[in-house]
């Protein structure tokens, strides 16, 4: 029997990892301590910046450090791996080749959830880091699932990136300004859904109208992490 249901490679960033763990606890159907997941978290805050690694082409250091974490998870008897960092999923193929453990693919699971909810041909907006936008990680997944991918214009993308790095720096995001970005994607981009494709964005408390259109990739990862671990997701 495996010692841990779930291994979390976190720290990218630390606040997002903390929120991921809180949501795992809140959304696991459990009546006592013993009915929650056995999990272990590596808060690997010194992991190289994923966007910088992608844009510079200097992948090796990130891959070496993620490989070390995966091998450590194997030795600890983990069954499934969750990585609450959208940008890192650019390296999913390489990461899966490093281990026999099941790495939950947040990108693929999120796009499949949108297709199930909104149907084939839905227009899907993406709010993410420069690295995620540049690599087309979600774009490729949308195309493969017959969804129409819509990305922000350059000015809007810079605004999203500022919000992300403000949160990483411990600053508060301007919720009103961010909701304006979401609604611009819906109204100007004619999007049926908008993916919050950076775990820092999951921290923002959106109002009722904006949240109606948003699909939070972290929430999808939380749900799948609970289900893969053999527990019931509490809606």
Indicate if 198 belongs to the active site: yes
Query: What H or E segment, with its residue span, contains residue 5?
Result: strand 4-10
- 3-state DSSP call for residue 189? coil
Go through 7-40 and write b for each residue having 16 or more CB atoms within 10 A of its CB, e for each that does not: bbbbbbbeebbebbbebbeebbeeeeeeebbebb
- 3-state DSSP call for residue 222? helix
Q: Which residues contact 183 (CB under 8 A, 6 or more apart)?
A: 209, 210, 213
Indicate if 142 belongs to the active site: no
Give the active site residue among 142, 191, 198, 214: 198
Angle between helical axes of 154-168 and 175-187 (0-180°, round to 10)? 150
Give the active site residue among 85, 142, 191, 214: 85
Q: Cα–Cα distance between 53 and 88 in angstroms, integer?
A: 10
Report, as residue numbers or ranges, the catalytic residues.
85, 198
């Amino acid at each position: 029997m495996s010692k841990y249901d779930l291994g979390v490679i976190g720290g990218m960033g630390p606040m997002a990892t903390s929120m991921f763990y809180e949501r795992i606890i809140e959304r696991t159907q459990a009546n006592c301590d013993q009915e929650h997941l056995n999990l272990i978290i590596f808060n690997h805050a010194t992991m190289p910046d994923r966007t910088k690694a992608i844009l510079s082409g200097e992948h090796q250091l990130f891959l070496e450090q993620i490989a070390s974490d995966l091998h450590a998870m194997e030795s600890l008897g983990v069954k499934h791996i969750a990585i609450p960092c959208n940008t890192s999923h650019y390296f999913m193929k390489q990461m899966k080749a490093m281990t026999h453990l099941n790495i939950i693919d947040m990108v693929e699971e999120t796009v499949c959830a949108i297709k199930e909810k909104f149907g084939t041909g839905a227009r899907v907006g993406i709010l993410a880091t420069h690295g995620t936008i540049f690599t087309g990680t979600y774009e490729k997944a949308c195309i493969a699932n017959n969804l129409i991918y819509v990305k922000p214009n350059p000015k809007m993308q810079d605004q999203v990136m500022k919000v992300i790095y403000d949160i990483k720096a411990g600053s508060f995001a301007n919720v009103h300004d961010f909701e304006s970005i979401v609604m611009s994607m819906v109204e100007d981009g004619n999007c049926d859904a908008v993916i919050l494709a950076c775990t820092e964005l999951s921290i923002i408390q959106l109002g009722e109208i904006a949240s109606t259109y948003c699909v939070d990739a972290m929430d999808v990862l939380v749900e799948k992490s609970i289900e893969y671990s053999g527990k019931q997701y509490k809606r």
